[in-house]
């Protein structure tokens, strides 16, 4: 209506219909927020971002095609002022720092969407970072001690791409399926698998698969 301030426009990037439906209802119920679009994969998300110019983009880590961290990097490269907030089922102790380094301003675990998502959205829209108090304390402790938390867990020493491949292995994806989803060659995925075996200290593909499945069950 005339005279009312414009609403902040939100783009949702998530491949879970129920999550998108719930987020849309919750966001659209706010007087200052509205969902302007949705996407389920990286390519569609980039196209939607370019055409819609949202005030904030909500990004899941695991997408239908591609990876949320790579999407954040791509959007950030196009617009360093872009405001992005990660919503994920994965534990923030592993992914939050990666998301911030990629260009996001915050991270919300999906278990906390009902209670924290609107607050997180408004915090990021204001240009501030949003993390759980526990994660904030962890980052502060790391900065004070100058100790990288990856010293404690070999998975945390993986590169973003290696972690992406490791996660897809844990979801039962074959090498060919991973190559297709990430738009990489089978040889490249085999190289990543070899690096994963070396970094994680496993002897063969069977042990790598077992470790990846266990990690996914515990973290996602």
Give the per-residue pLDDT at 151. 53
Mean pLDDT value across the chain = 87
Q: Is the pLDDT of residue 65 over 70?
A: yes
pLDDT tier for residue 141 given thresholds of 50, 70 and 90? low
- Segment (H or E) for 9: strand 8-13
150-219 CATH fold: Arc Repressor Mutant, subunit A (1.10.10)
pLDDT in tens, 90-140: 877 778 888 998 999 999 988 887 888 999 999 999 999 998 877 777 766
Whether this model's pTM surpasses 0.85: no
Instruction: Break the chain into its structural domains and give their ranges.
Output: 8-142, 150-219
Candidates 117, 201, 118, 215; CA nearest to 165 is 215
pLDDT tier for residue 6 given thresholds of 50, 70 and 90? confident
- Measured distance CA(209)–CA(144) in Å, rounded: 36
Give the per-residue pLDDT at 196. 92
The rounded percent of the chain whose pLDDT value lies above 90 is: 51
Dihedral sign from CA coordinates of 30, 32, 36, 41: negative
**Encoded tokens for 186:** 């089978």
**CATH number at 8-142:** 3.40.50.2300
The average pLDDT across 192-199 equals 91
The average pLDDT across 61-68 equals 86
Give the per-residue pLDDT at 152. 63
Q: Is the pLDDT of residue 26 over 80?
A: yes
pLDDT tier for residue 82 given thresholds of 50, 70 and 90? very high
Q: Is the pLDDT of residue 18 over 50?
A: yes
- Measured distance CA(185)–CA(201) in Å, rounded: 24
For β-strands 56-59 and 33-39, DSSP reports them as unpaired
Give the per-residue pLDDT at 43. 92
The average pLDDT across 22-45 equals 95
pLDDT in tens, 148-181: 544 567 888 888 889 889 988 988 889 998 898 8
pLDDT tier for residue 72 given thresholds of 50, 70 and 90? very high
């Amino acid at each position: 209506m005339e005279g009312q301030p414009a609403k902040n426009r939100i783009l949702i990037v998530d491949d879970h219909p129920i999550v998108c439906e719930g987020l849309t209802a919750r966001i659209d119920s706010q007087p200052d927020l509205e969902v302007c679009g949705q996407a389920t994969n990286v390519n569609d998300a980039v196209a939607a971002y370019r055409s819609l110019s949202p005030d904030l983009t909500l990004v899941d880590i695991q997408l239908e095609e591609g990876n949320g961290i790579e999407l954040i990097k791509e959007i950030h490269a196009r617009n360093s002022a872009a405001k992005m907030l990660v919503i994920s089922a994965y534990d923030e102790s592993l992914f939050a720092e990666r998301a911030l380094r990629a260009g996001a301003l915050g991270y919300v675990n999906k278990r906390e969407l009902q209670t924290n998502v609107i607050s997180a959205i408004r915090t990021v829209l204001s240009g501030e970072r949003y993390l759980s108090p526990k994660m904030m304390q962890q980052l502060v402790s790391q900065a004070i001690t100058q100790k990288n938390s990856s010293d404690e867990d070999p998975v945390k020493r993986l590169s973003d791409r290696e972690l992406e491949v490791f996660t897809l292995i844990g979801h039962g994806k074959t090498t060919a399926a991973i190559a297709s989803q990430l738009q990489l060659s089978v040889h490249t995925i085999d190289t990543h698998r070899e690096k994963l075996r070396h970094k994680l200290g496993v002897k063969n593909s069977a042990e790598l698969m077992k470790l990846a499945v266990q990690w996914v069950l515990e973290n996602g």
